[in-house]
Chains A and B, each alone.
Chain A
Amino acid sequence: MSWILLVEQTLNGLQFGVMLFLMAAGLTLIFGVMGLINLVHGSLYMIGAFAAAAVAAATGSFLLALIASLAAAAAAGVVVETTVIRRLYDRDHLDQVLATFALILIFSEGTRWVFGSFPLFLDPPDYLSGSVSLPFGIEYSRYRLSLIVVGLAVAAGLFWMIAKTRIGIRIRAGENDREMIGALGIDISSLYTLVFALGAALAGLAGALIGAIQSVQVGMGEPVLILAFVVIVIGGIGSIKGALIGAILVGLTDTLGGFLLPKLFALFLSPSAATSVGSSLASMSIYILMAGVLLVRPKGLFGGV
Chain B
Amino acid sequence: MSLKPLLAAICTAALATGAQAEGLKVGMITTLSGGGAGLGIDVRDGFVLAVEQSGRDDIEVVVEDDQRKPDIAVQLADKLIQSEKVDVLTGIIWSNLAMAVVPGAVAQGKFYLSPNAGPSPLAGRGCHQNYFNVAWQNDNLHEAAGAHANSTGYEKTFILAPNYPAGKDALAGFKRFYEGDVAGEIYTKLGQTDYASEIAQIRASDADSVFFFLPGGMGISFLKQYADSGVDLPVVGPAFSFDQGILQAVGDAALGVHNTSQWSKDIDNPTNAAFVESFQAKYGRLPSLYASQGFDTANLLMSAMDSADVTDQDAFREALKAANFSSTRGDFEFGPNHHPIQDIYVREVIKEGDVYTNRIISVGLEDRGDAYAAECQM
Contact = CB atoms under 8 A, between A and B. Distances in A.
A187 B1 CA distance: 34
A300 to B, nearest CB: 24
Contact of B33 (A112, A120, A210): A112
Interface stretch (B11-19, B91-99, B190-198, B332-340): B190-198
Given A105-B3, A118-B248, A144-B196, A214 B228 contact: no
A185 interface: no
Given A117-B38, A130-B228, A131-B230, A279 B187 contact: yes
A259 interface: yes
A104 B193 CA distance: 20
Interface in B289-326: none
A217 to B, nearest CB: 5
Interface string B1-12: 101100100000
B97 to A, nearest CB: 17
A56 B139 CA distance: 38
B185 A109 contact: no
Contacts of B33: 108-109, 112
B251 A123 contact: yes
Interface residues of A, number: 53
Nearest to A262: B186
Interface string B186-215: 111101011011001101100000000000
Contacts of A109: 3-4, 7, 33
Interface residues of B, number: 43
B196 A214 contact: no
B163 interface: yes
Nearest to A143: B228
A119 B220 contact: yes
Query: 9 smallest A-B Cβ distances: which pairs?
Result: A215-B220, A119-B249, A12-B196, A215-B217, A131-B230, A214-B221, A279-B187, A117-B37, A219-B35
Interface of A: 1-2, 4-5, 8-9, 12, 15-16, 101-102, 105-106, 108-109, 112, 117-121, 123-124, 129-131, 139, 141, 143-144, 210, 212-220, 223, 255, 258-259, 262, 271-272, 275-276, 279-280, 282-283
